[in-house]
Structure 1
Amino acid sequence: MFKKVHILFLLIMAQFVSGTAVAQERFLKKGNEKYDEYSFSPAIDIYKKVLDKGFVSADLLRKLGNSYYYNADYKEAGETFDRLVNEFESEVSAEDYFKYAQTLKSLEEYEKAGEIMNKFTQITGNDVRAQQFKSAEDYLAEIRKNSGRYELKTFEYNSPYSDFAPSFYKEGLIFSSDRDTGNFARNRHTWNGKDFLDLYKVNADSATRSKVVKLDDYVNTRLHESTSITTKDGQTLYFTRNNIVEGKYKKDEEGIIRLKIFRAQMMDDGIWGEVEELPFNSDSYSVAHPALSPDEKTLYFASDMPGTLGASDIFMVEINKDGTFGTPVNLGSNINTEARETFPFVTEEEILYFSSDGHPGLGGLDVFGTKIKRKDFNGNIMNVGEPVNSVKDDFTFIFNEENREGYFASNRDDGMGYDDIYAFIENEPLVFDCIQQVTGTVRDKISNQVLVGATVKVINEDNEELLSTITDSKGTYSLVLDCNQGNFVRALMEGYTPHEEYIGVSDGKPKIIDFYLERDRVTAGYGDDLAKLLQLSTIYFDFDKYNIRKDSEVEIEKVIAAMEKYPSLKIKVNSHTDSRGPAAYNLWLSQKRAESTVNYMIKKGISKDRLLSEGFGESKLLNECADGVPCSAANHDVNRRSEFIIFE
């Protein structure tokens, strides 16, 4: 009897467990459907119920952690990722470690975040985020160096709801909000359980100053409208909207309504109309968060289109004169990482600000800036520091360089709503240009003579000349380079072989580069004076003596160097005096000086077969300073010379 009861009990328990498993699978399937639709709020509720029933897996914890992460609930995300890495270590992916590290930063647990990032780098060393990874002490020191430059101010138009994405419009702003519109039935988005977003303006028109006004229905719909940018004349509006055309929602193959950028024109009655979808939008990926270049010929945006490096990248596209568009181009791996880069904004001075959780930051999305002049996207990426950045998400940063004022949004804890807009004043500018001074001299390699009027150019890695200068009367030059990029510094002089040195991306410390140019050939012919070719100084002898002085050795060594470089070169040393003193004595003295010079060169290794000497005394004066003619000492000095004549 006991055995039958026991068997019956086991059968009942098996049916119960089987039924529970089926229920769990049904819950999980529903939760995964919501997760795949980016409906994170209901997905969280479902996953928590499954956990409460006692079922747990790596995939469940991963998706629950991600759901918290994408909703900026970092406390719950941290606890969930902690379970994942401790209970399912063998199943943890690189992205799991990265999101866990980012979550820990947002909880200000920087030391532990560093430990988790070390595990991330061990898995994927080729990842840009791994290559940029530094210890918490190092990257926090860099962020602190940039901190304290901004003074935050209250933005009086925040609501208890979500307010973000400010953009300059006329004398005021356009921003996005899910504030109460007065409707009893309100649309809610299942990503975070919040209301759908619309665009509002404030302080933009004299009739509505100090009043928040919702944009007209041509722009706002029943789904999201968020980030926007207007042209300087206020006639064209680019904005982000869910994929809706002619009142109909469009979903991709996974049932997701993607984001798209639309363009609206201001009508004669002051209403936004003629709304059109941009041609590079797609039903299968998102295109969002428009920004314009200062000349309004380029549109920047964020997307996860094919060719994206991470979750979302920043792209640019040319705007043609007729209003059509070119082909979108990814800004590259210096700016974009395998994580999220989004919310671009470009200032009049061509500083690109954007938000990222891929570059080293304080936690969540941080605001970064980089110089993009001449569409060079390889400059230093700088975290703008506190108080703009925090341990939470900081994004949609805009800045007016003329009055040094701007705005951004954040979901930090001290806000009124889920997201809040913050105004700020920049008290100390961030220096995005990496300036490096390069100085030096240009000299003849053989004679060491400075080369006056030599050209020194700066050429970038695309072989484009950026700037040039010439050496002064001392053979010196000075240049200022952009050390955010690699450059070649090249010295050129007619009759010489050009020489260049490469300077890579650096910290901007001053650098000295001295150039020693070689002649491309011996341009003097037989009978020419090598002393003039090498720009030698006068070969001096002490009065009434013919031994080589130390200062003259330097000049003769230049001749020796030339003869060593050109083995076929033969030199005749001619020595001359001025007219002062007896002519016979001057002839003898000059001959002894010429012989002394040749003997010095022979001792230095030059074959005597390549050398001749002759003294001419005062017989070949270069001016009128003959015997009996009054002349200055300077004029007499012109005649006291040595020549190094090339012979066959």
Structure 2
Amino acid sequence: MKNYTLFCIIIFSFIALEGNAQQAKIKTANKEYDTYAYVDVIKTYEKVALKGYKSEDMFKKLGNSYYFNSDFEGATKWYDELFAMNTPVEPEYYYRYAQSLKSTGQIEKANKVMNEFILKSKDDSRGKLYNEDVNYLDQIKANSGRYTIEDAGINSKYSDYGTFVYNKKIYFSSARDTGNFTQRKHTWTGEYFTNLYTSDIDSGKVKKIKGVLNSKFHEASPAFTKDGKTVYFTRNNYVDGKKGKNENKITLVKLYKATFENDKWTNITALPFTSNNYTTAHPALSPDEKTLYFSSDMPGTLGQSDIYKVSINDNGATYGSPVNLGATINTEGKETFPFITDENEIYFSSDGRPGLGGLDVYVGKLEDNGTVTSIQNVGADVNSPQDDFAYVIDPVSRKGYFSSNKNGGQGSDDIYKFLETKKLQCIQELSGVITDAETGIILPESKITLYENQIVKNTTISDASGTYYFPVECGKMYNVRAEKENFTTKELTITIGKLTGKTNLPIALDKAKCKVTVGDDLGKCFAIKMIYFDLDKSDIRTEAALDLEKILDVLNNNPTMKLDIRSHTDSRQTHKYNEALSDRRAKSTINWLIKNGITANRLKGKGFGEAQLVNNCSDGVNCTEDQHQANRRSEFIITAL
């Protein structure tokens, strides 16, 4: 992608050169580099390099100039020269070199360089993601073959990218030459500045948006509200004829907003959380239009650019504070071009995750707590060794657009339209055989229950061969409970693999050895020594709920059974404190059972604190942790059958 986002890069110090003529050229190139004039940098530095001059600083800047323009072949050439010097370089150059090599098809060499990067940057999430998913190409292959893709019919020989579909029209950015001789070229890319254009869907007839939305600098990535009266968009820091600059005299990009009044766009204003000193770009609205997502390198960013969100207040004119979506989605690399669907999906582009090279498009699930989970590469139909980005999709028709500078396009960036013929769902088959743990005999007609986060997701009965089956989602953790009359209920935890396939979980049940009567502790039948709570708290934890489910099942199957629930602590803390804490825990346990359907008259309970220790570990006695643990216990005494 031609890097119109103008994200800040590392500026390297100038190394003095021999020869006055070469010094002058290099000084000029350094100034151009510091102002992102990469096209001029390349011209000057390459002239010097062709005369045999070698410099670590020059090779870095040449490689970067190509890299930030997404010319990975040129980047590879000069990073090759840099690494051939065998001088120590910053770890980031290993990552850029690996990405460039991958984009030019040198996968084996790219992997070797990536391994060097991991050794030099052990805490970098990009290396950790690579190590966690060394078979990422298998996942990409499994996710491919789901699209029909074609040219969108609106491309020029210049850069065209960043689409938004509204009211049967497609809006996008373009650097095309409109015939205006005063139109200016951008020294970063050598192309004209981008403006906003529109076209009827499938017509191919492109028109430049008239009015104040377009300026003489960059505009990009519009996002309209559903009523069409508000648009958020990216623009160079320029409004009312004035440019805003950072401390280095560079004009970055900001998020702007405009409203449609009296048949024209007006009231162009920068959003209040933007700044002259960092970038904000590529807005995307949530389906309810209460949240704006965007990319930025503002203070607090984890990498080169992160994805953020900000709440839009009910008046539509004020905003909350930007919130970084966090390390579940953002890396030390670049995350950008978010797009949100009403299926709680977030599509985005990243060069910080294992992919095919450059920016790849990924999709993740937006959870209620704001984190992003189940992130997957959308596959090689959309993604390529180059930059692939600005993915948008209609969740109903499954039609959409994305942008790419992949080989075969008309310009430096092109817009492609697609039809997703198969949704991206990583599904596994979880199965296993239920057997007698002692004899190995299969146990048909066993009840198998699937839980996720304490919630029942599915229930089945094992077939004649003792086998059960569940469809499950890749990468998730589940609890599987097996029950059979005259056998002890057993529950296992399983984490599903990240690729479509099968997971085997056999379960061997022990014969029930526990027969209870009035006065017995029901918990001992299930080896429940303690209902676990967080330190000094009485909220039911996940592990506790799983054990209480076993008690609940017995009570449901024995409707006349009554229990006296007793909670005990060790002797640490005061007697009064322990008695109060254990009493709260006993009542919390009772309330959980009542909430899950057991009538209150079948239950009573009390906290005994440290009053009924099972050993001599009282105050002042030196005991081991295991001895103290023996005193921290829960009892479920049967009072009626």
TM-score, scaled relative to structure 1? 0.68
CA contact (8 A) 2:450 2:478 kept: no
Deviation at 1:482, TM superposition (A): 4.7
Q: Note if contact 2:217-2:236 (Cα within 8 Å) is conserved in structure 1.
A: yes
Secondary structure of the structure 1 residue equivalent to 2:234: strand
Q: Which residue of 2 is the match for residue 284 of structure 1?
A: 277
Distance 1:488 1:62 in 2: 52
1:122 maps onto 2:116 in alignment: no
C-alpha change, 1:282 and 1:355, in structure 2 (3 Å) is same
2:103 aligned with 1:106: yes
Structure 1 counterpart of 2:319, from 320, 325, 329: 325
Conservation of the 8 A alpha-carbon contact between 1:153 and 1:422: yes
2:239 aligned with 1:239, yes or no? no
- For 2:204 and 2:138, the matched residues in 1 are separated by 41
Is the 2:195–2:219 contact (alpha carbons within 8 Å) kept by the matching residues of 1? yes
Indicate if the aligned counterparts of 1:457 and 1:491 stay in contact, CA closer than 8 A: no
Task: Give the Å deviation of 1:435.
Answer: 6.0
User: Matches of 1:414 and 1:81 in 2, distance apart?
Assistant: 25
2:418 aligned residue: 424
Note if 1:260 corresponds to 2:254: yes
Question: Using a 3 Å threshold, how does the CA distance of structure 1 residues 300 and 436 change in structure 2: closer, same or farther?
Answer: farther
* Selected match of 1:85 from 83, 90, 95: 83
- Residues paired across the two proteins, number: 498
**CA offset at residue 456 of structure 1?**
6.9
Q: 1:426-458 deviations in whole A, cap 9, x for unaligned?
A: 122211x656758999x9xxxxxx9x9x99784
SS in 2 for 1:118: helix
Return 5+ residue gaps in structure 2 as ranges: 1-15, 437-442, 527-637
Percent identity reads 43
Distance 2:225 2:448 in 1: 43
User: Partner amino acid for 1:506?
Assistant: G
State the 1:276 CA deviation: 2.1
Task: Decide whether aligned partners of structure 1 residues 489 and 238 sit closer, same or farther in structure 2, where only a CA change above 3 A counts.
Answer: farther
More helix by share: 1
Letter paired with 1:416:
Q
Offset from partner CA, 1:196-237 (integer Å, 9 cap, x none): 010011117xxx965322223221111100112112222221
Amino acid corresponding to residue 94 of structure 2 in structure 1: Y
Q: Which aligned pairs between 1:173-188 and structure 2 lie closer than 5 A?
A: 173-188=170-185
User: What's the offset of the Cα at 1:92?
Assistant: 2.2
Give the superposition deviation at 1:72: 2.0
Equivalent position of 1:584 in the other structure: none
Is 1:211 the counterpart of 2:214? The answer is no
Residues 1:506 and 2:497 aligned together:
yes
1:305 to 298, 306, 313: 298
Structure 1 CA distance, aligned partners of 2:491 and 2:402? 45
Aligned twin of 1:611: none
Cα separation, partners in 2 of 1:107 and 1:347, compared to 1, 3 Å:
same
Specify which of 355, 369, 389 is matched with residue 363 of structure 2. Answer: 369
Counterpart secondary structure, 1:151? strand
Structure 1 residues 466 and 270, CA, compared in 2 at 3 Å: closer, same or farther?
farther
Which of 166, 170, 174 matches 1:169?
A: 166
Aligned residue for 1:140?
A: 137
- SS in structure 1 at match of 2:100: helix
| Alpha-carbon contact 1:166-1:398 (below 8 Å) kept | yes
Superposed CA offset, 1:506-531 (max 9, x none)? 34745658799999x998437x9x9x
- 1:395 matched to 2:389? The reply is yes
TM-score normalised to the size of structure 2? 0.68
1:72 aligns with 2:70: yes
Report the residue type matching 1:252 in the other structure.
N
Unaligned runs of 5+ in 1: 1-17, 444-449, 535-644
Question: Counterpart of 1:91 in structure 2: which amino acid?
Answer: P
8 Å contact kept, 1:78–1:103: yes
Q: Distance in 1 between matches of 2:152 and 2:457?
A: 48
Per-residue deviation, residues 519-565 of structure 1 (Å, max 9, x unmatched): 9x998437x9x9xx99xxxxxxxxxxxxxxxxxxxxxxxxxxxxxxx
Q: Is residue 188–residue 196 contact of structure 1 (8 Å, CA) maintained in 2?
A: yes
Preserved CA contact (<8 Å) 1:394 1:411: yes
> Of 340, 345, 361, which aligns to 1:346?
340
Match of 2:32 in 1: 34
Deviation of residue 30 (structure 1)? 2.7
Whole-Å separation in 2 of the counterparts to 1:113 and 1:371: 30
The answer to whether structure 1 residue 386 and structure 2 residue 380 are counterparts is yes
Q: C-alpha distance in 1, partners of 2:82/2:113?
A: 13
Q: Which amino acid aligns with 1:340?
A: K
Q: Deviations over 1:124-156 (max 9, x none)?
A: 122122122269993333222222211112322
Secondary structure of 1:219's counterpart equals coil
What displacement does 1:407 show?
1.0
> 1:71 & 1:19 partners in 2: Cα distance?
26
**CA 1:500 to 1:116, structure 2 compared with 1: closer, same or farther past 3 Å?**
same
Contact 1:434 1:484 in 2 (8 A): no
Contact 2:186 2:192 in 1 (8 A): yes
2:399 to 405, 413, 430: 405
User: Would the alpha carbon gap of residues 501 and 257 (structure 1) be closer, same or farther in structure 2, given more than 3 Å must change?
Assistant: farther
CA distance in 2, matches of 1:79, 1:291: 36
**2:286 aligns with one of 282, 290, 293:** 293
In 2, Cα distance between equivalents of 1:260 and 1:518: 68
CA distance in 2, matches of 1:68, 1:83: 14
Cα deviation 1:396-452 (Å, max 9, x = unaligned): 111112112111111123111121111111122211x656758999x9xxxxxx9x9
